[in-house]
Amino acid sequence: MKIRKSYLIEINLSKKTNNPFPVDTFLDGKTIIGIEAFSASQITKSPNDAVVANGDILGQAFMSLDVGGSQPIQNLPLSTLLTSNNNGIMKEFGNLKLRLNKSYLSFPNPSIITAGEVILLNFYYED
């Protein structure tokens, strides 16, 4: 896939089972064609200078995405979005129109989370 447009979001983690995506309307109405996750072994600090969560945290995180009021993507292991786990290939999605304010990450064991760390997700999109 050729990258034409991308948008990076930071999900601030707290010691809760469900960690919501940030309230951000930039991607509303955009067609999502791919999503990539990053761990601390790839990027140590976010653009806002927050510590990026390590691979152990991503390995225990699950993503649920809201698409038009339903959640066809539920409990997708976040580790599947690390290109290092996919032979360097980014996960492509079937042209989804997401509602990020209704999407979230879940952690079966939230005690592993260090509050203040972030998970970085890069969304590849078209208008």
d(CA 60, CA 110): 9
Contact present, 99 and 28 (Cβ < 8 Å): yes
Task: Give the pLDDT confidence of 12-60 residue by residue, as tens digits.
Answer: 999 999 999 998 889 988 999 999 999 999 999 999 999 999 999 999 9
Task: Give the pLDDT confidence of 52-110 residue by residue, as tens digits.
Answer: 999 999 999 999 999 888 888 999 999 999 998 888 888 888 888 988 888 999 999 99
Angle (CA) 22-110-122 rounded to 5° is 35
Rg (C-alpha) for the chain, rounded Å, is 14
pLDDT at res. 85: 87
Q: What 3-state DSSP class applies to 76?
A: strand
Stated pTM of the model: 0.93
d(CA 60, CA 107): 6
